[in-house]
Amino acid sequence: MKGDFRLSRRRTTVAGVDIPAGATLMVLNGAANRDPRHFEDPGEFRVDRDDAREHLAFGRGVHSCPGGSLARMETRVSIERLLDRTTEISVAESHHGPPGARRYRYMPTYILRGLTQLHLEWAPARTPPGDR
């Protein structure tokens, strides 16, 4: 999730910024996850980061996402199934351009960061999952 909104119930200060009572704030979880002061090379996808569990994609505190465990499980199963059946997965240059100059389109929303389309190329796995 890119971000969400909050209504301040009382006057407060966040990171040196005065927030009046009744203000609508946008909390940018996505930006926090890419904060180089917290995460080393935050733009890189590294599943084995020591601090991977400190991300805020599911929020934190009383309103943290109750669907987080389901979403994590669905993601794990989807990626495992994909890797079981494919090898050499790459982004299709014909649709998204060459490495270093990729072009993607995102859904026009402040809340989610979702691609409208992702074109991939892959080779089938050498041994289909049923034959192992």
Name the minimum Å distance from CB 39 to ligand HEM: 17
Segment lying near ligand HEM (by CB under 6 A), choices 40-48, 63-71, 85-93, 98-106: 63-71
Spatial contact of 85 and 78, defined as CB atoms under 8 Å apart? no
Please select the residue that binds ligand HEM; options are 14, 23, 52, 65, rule is CB under 6 A: 65
DSSP 3-state assignment of 29?
helix
Residue 52: DSSP 8-state: G
Nearer to ligand HEM, 60 or 129 (CB): 60
Measure the CA–CA gap between 119 and 115, rounded to whole angstroms. 10
Q: Which amino acid would we find at residue 7? A: L
With 0-12 / 13-18 / 19 or more C-beta atoms within 10 angstroms meaning exposed / middle / buried, residue 17 is exposed
Please select the residue that binds ligand HEM; options are 12, 64, 78, 87, rule is CB under 6 A: 64
Residue 112: DSSP 8-state: -
Site string for ligand HEM, 23-62 (x = CB under 6 A): ------x---------------------------xxx---
Binding site for ligand HEM (CB under 6 A): 1, 4, 29, 57-59, 63-67, 70-71
